[in-house]
Amino acid sequence: MNGGAGAVGSSPAPPPVGGPGWAYFFDLDGTLVDLVDPPAVVRVDPGLRELLESLRRVSGGAVALISGRSLKDIDTLFPGDPPMPVAGQHGLERRAADGHLSRHEPPTGLDAARRMLTGLADRRIEVEDKGLSLAIHYRLAPQLGGYAGRLARLAAAQAGPQYTVLPGKRIMEIKPSGRDKGVAVREFMEERPFRGRVPVFVGDDITDEHGFEMVNALGGASIKVGAGETAARWHLRDVRAVRAWLTRAITAAQVP
pLDDT in tens, the chain (256 residues): 333 334 455 667 899 999 999 999 999 999 999 987 666 667 899 999 999 999 999 999 999 999 999 999 999 999 988 899 999 999 999 999 999 999 988 888 999 999 999 877 677 888 989 889 999 999 888 899 999 999 999 999 999 999 999 898 888 999 998 889 999 999 999 999 999 999 999 999 999 999 999 999 999 999 999 999 999 999 999 999 999 999 999 999 986 6
- Verify that 26 and 130 share a domain, yes or no: no
- Verify that 130 and 29 share a domain, yes or no: no
| Number of domains into which the chain is organized | 2
- Do the domain assignments include residue 12? no
Instruction: Using alpha carbons, list the distances in angstroms from residue 224 to 158, 189, 204, 221.
Output: 34, 20, 5, 10
Position 5, amino acid: A
CATH number of the domain that residue 92 is part of: 3.40.50.1000
Biggest alpha carbon–alpha carbon distance for the chain: 60
- Do the domain assignments include residue 30? yes
- Do the domain assignments include residue 224? no
- Do the domain assignments include residue 8? no
- Do the domain assignments include residue 15? no
- Do the domain assignments include residue 198? yes
- Verify that 162 and 42 share a domain, yes or no: no
- Verify that 117 and 188 share a domain, yes or no: no
- Verify that 164 and 54 share a domain, yes or no: no
- Verify that 58 and 28 share a domain, yes or no: yes
pTM score, two decimals?
Answer: 0.87
- Verify that 167 and 47 share a domain, yes or no: no
Query: Catalytic residues, which ones?
Result: 27
- Verify that 62 and 122 share a domain, yes or no: no
Positive or negative torsion for Cα 26, 28, 29, 33: positive
Domain of 242, in residue numbers: 22-104+179-210+233-253
Q: How far apart are CA 240 and CA 247, in angstroms?
A: 11
- Verify that 116 and 200 share a domain, yes or no: no
- Do the domain assignments include residue 6? no
- Verify that 27 and 89 share a domain, yes or no: yes
- Do the domain assignments include residue 215? no
- Verify that 32 and 99 share a domain, yes or no: yes
Contact partners, residue 107, CB within 8 Å, separation at least 6: 160, 162, 163, 176
